[in-house]
């Protein structure tokens, strides 16, 4: 009888230990699972945040690179094309200046490799040319340039001479720009002397000029009373601001 009681006691103790052991194991596994889950939850946002930072840095690098080159468009409202020639008006030496801001054109620039710079065709609306005399304006648009038949004057650059290897902002560059000037469907080779200044990564300013004999383009000045000794050559100029295209 006593042996049976002892045996029963041992069985009960073993059972209790087994139950406690299972409970402890469950608690350990539960904590392990909870810890793992918590770590996963913490790691995911951290990974996402790291990826966002890397993406942001990459975007900033790309933006910085893009800012170093791009396509610049002539801002017509901030630019001006002019012609200048001399004449005797009523026996008085007179300088005639005609001007317009109706000009378009683009400049493709790589500031890290300036010798790759390209200039697209420059186009001018001659019907918008005005001087200080309304009678002269009508003559220019009619008999002289016939703007209703020839609505555009164009210059297509074919070579930019003495492009530098490096460019510094606010530093003027002296260039020669050769190309085809077309007026009234007559095309002649001309060379503009130019001073170009990259103001910043978003703005370029410049001035270019050349002399041409207008008779080379089948342009003739009509005989008008009180007007005499009109120059055979005319000075063509452009002052422009070109802004980075967005």
pLDDT value, residue 38: 47
Please check whether residue 76 is in contact with residue 90, taking contact to mean a CB–CB distance below 8 angstroms. Answer: no
What is the DSSP-derived secondary structure letter of residue 232?
A: S
Q: In the beta sheet, which residues pair with residue 194?
A: 175, 208
Residue 17 has a pLDDT of 39
**pLDDT band for position 246 (cuts 50, 70, 90):** confident
Number of domains in the chain: 2
Q: What is the pLDDT of residues 89-145, one digit of tens each?
A: 999 999 999 999 999 999 999 888 999 999 999 999 999 999 999 999 999 999 999
Do residues 32 and 89 both lie within one domain?
no
Residues 101 and 192 in one domain: yes
Q: 63-67, 109-113, 179-183: lowest mean pLDDT where?
A: 63-67
Instruction: Examine the domain organization and report whether 89 and 211 are in the same domain.
Output: yes
Whole-number Cα distances in Å, 13 to 1, 3, 19, 24, 80: 19, 15, 10, 16, 105
Q: Are residues 75 and 101 in the same domain?
A: yes
* Contact present, 198 and 111 (Cβ < 8 Å): yes
Q: Which residues are CB-contacts of 112 (< 8 A; sequence separation ≥ 6)?
A: 68, 69
Confidence of residue 62 (pLDDT cuts 50, 70, 90): very low
| Averaged pLDDT for residues 75-83 | 98
Q: Which helix (H) or strand (E) holds 53?
A: helix 2-66
- CA gap 171, 186 in Å, rounded: 36
Kindly report, residue by residue over 112-126, the tens digit of the pLDDT: 899 999 999 999 999
Q: Which domain covers residue 217, as residue numbers?
A: 68-244
pTM greater than the 0.85 cutoff: no
Q: The CATH number of the domain where 209 resides is what?
A: 2.40.128.110
Of 36, 66, 96, the one marking the end of a domain is: 66
Residues 39 and 99 in one domain: no
Looking at the fold, whether 181 and 81 belong to one and the same domain comes out as yes
pLDDT at 224: 86
Q: Looking at the DSSP assignment, which residues form a beta bridge with residue 99?
A: 82, 130
Statement to judge: residues 103 and 55 lie in one domain: no
Calculate the average pLDDT of the chain: 81
* C-alpha–C-alpha distance, residues 158 and 143, integer Å: 31
pLDDT tens digits along 190-204: 999 999 999 999 999
- Class of residue 179 by CB neighbours under 10 A (exposed 0-12, middle 13-18, buried 19+): buried
Considering the domain architecture, whether residues 118 and 202 belong to the same structural domain is answered as yes
pLDDT in tens, 207-233: 999 999 999 999 999 888 888 999 999
Whether 94 and 54 share a structural domain = no
Q: Which helix (H) or strand (E) holds 57?
A: helix 2-66
At 185 the pLDDT is 97
């Amino acid at each position: 009888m006593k042996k049976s009681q002892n045996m029963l006691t041992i069985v009960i103790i073993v059972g209790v230990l087994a139950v406690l052991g299972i409970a402890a194991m469950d608690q350990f596994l539960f904590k392990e699972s909870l810890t793992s889950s918590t770590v996963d939850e913490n790691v995911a946002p951290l990974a996402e945040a790291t990826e966002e930072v890397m993406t942001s840095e990459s975007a900033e690098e790309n933006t910085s690179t893009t800012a170093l080159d791009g396509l610049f468009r002539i801002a017509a409202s901030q630019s001006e094309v002019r012609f200048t020639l001399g004449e005797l008006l009523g026996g008085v030496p007179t300088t005639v200046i005609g001007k317009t801001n109706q000009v378009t054109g683009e400049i493709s620039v790589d500031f890290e490799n300036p010798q790759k710079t390209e200039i697209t065709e420059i186009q001018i609306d001659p019907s918008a040319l005005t001087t200080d005399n309304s009678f002269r304006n009508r003559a220019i648009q009619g008999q002289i340039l016939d703007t209703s038949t020839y609505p555009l004057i164009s210059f297509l650059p074919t070579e930019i001479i003495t492009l530098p290897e490096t460019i510094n902002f606010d530093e003027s560059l002296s260039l020669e720009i050769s190309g085809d000037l077309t007026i009234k469907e007559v095309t002649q080779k001309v060379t503009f002397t130019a001073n170009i200044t990259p103001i910043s990564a978003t703005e370029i300013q410049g001035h270019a000029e050349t002399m041409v004999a207008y008779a080379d383009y089948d342009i003739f000045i009509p005989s008008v009373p009180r007007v005499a000794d009109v120059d055979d050559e005319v000075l063509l100029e452009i002052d422009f601001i070109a802004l980075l295209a967005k």
